[in-house]
């Protein structure tokens, strides 16, 4: 969507419902792609050892953070396709090709 198309849509909004639809169309997809600092740290760590499997506890110990914090970040990384998970008790994570190829801008 161009800037002009966005402005035209925004000008013509007459209800909260229409504004909500515009938000869902434009803002929400951008917001959902953001990576947290914890997620970025975990992904950077996994990029150094592609092919290896790590539990949230192992990643947390390497980063100096708790495994619960890592678990939340890992869920987002899995959802976004940067990491895949397998097993249970403990669940282990492995970086995907998308995660390996991810480049960090301004970090």
Place 107 in a pLDDT band, splitting at 50, 70 and 90.
very low
Q: Residue 98 carries which DSSP code?
A: H
User: Are residue 60 and residue 10 in the same domain, yes or no?
Assistant: no
pLDDT, tens digit, for every residue of 25-48? 776 665 555 788 889 999 999 999
Kindly tell me if the per-residue pLDDT of 106 is higher than 60. Answer: no
In a domain, 107, yes or no: no
pLDDT, tens digit, for every residue of 63-73? 998 888 888 89
pLDDT, tens digit, for every residue of 67-102? 888 888 999 999 989 999 998 888 999 999 999 999
User: Are residue 9 and residue 26 in the same domain, yes or no?
Assistant: yes
Distance CA 87, CA 55 (A): 10
In a domain, 43, yes or no: yes
Question: Do residues 42 and 55 touch, judged by C-beta distance below 8 A?
Answer: no
User: Are residue 84 and residue 59 in the same domain, yes or no?
Assistant: yes
Q: Could you tell me the residue range of the domain that residue 16 belongs to?
A: 3-32
User: Are residue 49 and residue 86 in the same domain, yes or no?
Assistant: yes
**What is each CA distance from 105 to 40, 68, 69, in whole angstroms?**
11, 26, 23
Distance CA 46, CA 48 (A): 5
Rg of the chain, C-alpha, whole Å: 18
């Amino acid at each position: 969507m161009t800037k002009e198309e966005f402005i035209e849509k925004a000008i013509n909004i007459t209800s909260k419902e229409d504004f909500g639809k515009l938000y869902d169309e434009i803002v929400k997809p951008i917001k959902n792609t953001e990576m947290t600092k914890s997620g970025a740290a975990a992904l950077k760590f996994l990029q150094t050892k592609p092919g290896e499997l790590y539990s949230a506890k192992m990643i947390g110990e390497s980063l100096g953070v708790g495994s619960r914090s890592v678990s939340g970040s890992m869920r987002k990384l899995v959802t976004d396709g940067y990491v895949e998970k397998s097993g249970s008790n403990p669940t282990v994570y492995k970086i995907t090709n998308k995660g390996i190829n991810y480049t960090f801008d301004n970090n």
